[in-house]
């Protein structure tokens, strides 16, 4: 089955800890994205990557970091510098710049 996967589904973190969210796709898409979704708000773009070994900041990149060493993988690290990290995190991929295919999401809670 082709698709995009995220793990874990639920993640708990203590304040001051870094945590990495996984995103993998086997759709052979060049572009990948990370979004954050808070209740009552739309999807806000954190980082995106149009090609391997290249990525750009989105609208709310502060406190986050990413890497794109393989076409299939785009992990997101939520660092301790992110002041309000509790949210629903969504990863997506696309062949071009239009239709995006989303993963199931990771719900991060800071304890």
- 75 or 88, CB closer to another protein? 88
36, 100, 108, 110: which one binds another protein (CB under 8 A): 100
User: Footprint of another protein on residues 41-70 (CB under 8 A)?
Assistant: 41-43, 45, 48, 50, 56, 58
Q: Per CB under 8 A, does 90 bind another protein?
A: yes
- 80 or 86, CB closer to another protein? 86
Closest among 79, 80, 100 to 90, alpha carbons compared: 100
Separation CA 27–CA 91 (nearest Å): 13
Least Å distance, CB 93 to another protein, is 11
- 85 or 103, CB closer to another protein? 103
**Interface residues toward another protein, by CB under 8 A:** 35, 40-43, 45, 48, 50, 56, 58, 88, 90, 92, 97-105, 107
């Amino acid at each position: 089955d082709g698709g995009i996967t995220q793990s874990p589904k639920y993640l708990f973190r203590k304040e001051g800890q870094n945590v990495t969210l996984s995103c993998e796709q086997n759709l052979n898409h060049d572009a990948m994205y990370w979004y954050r979704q808070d209740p009552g708000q739309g999807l806000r773009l954190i980082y995106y990557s149009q090609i391997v070994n290249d990525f750009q900041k989105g609208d709310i990149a502060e406190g986050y970091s990413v890497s794109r060493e393989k076409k299939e993988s785009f992990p997101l690290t939520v660092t301790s510098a992110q002041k309000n990290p509790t949210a629903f995190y969504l990863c997506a991929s696309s062949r071009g710049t239009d239709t995006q295919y989303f993963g199931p999401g990771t719900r991060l809670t800071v304890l």
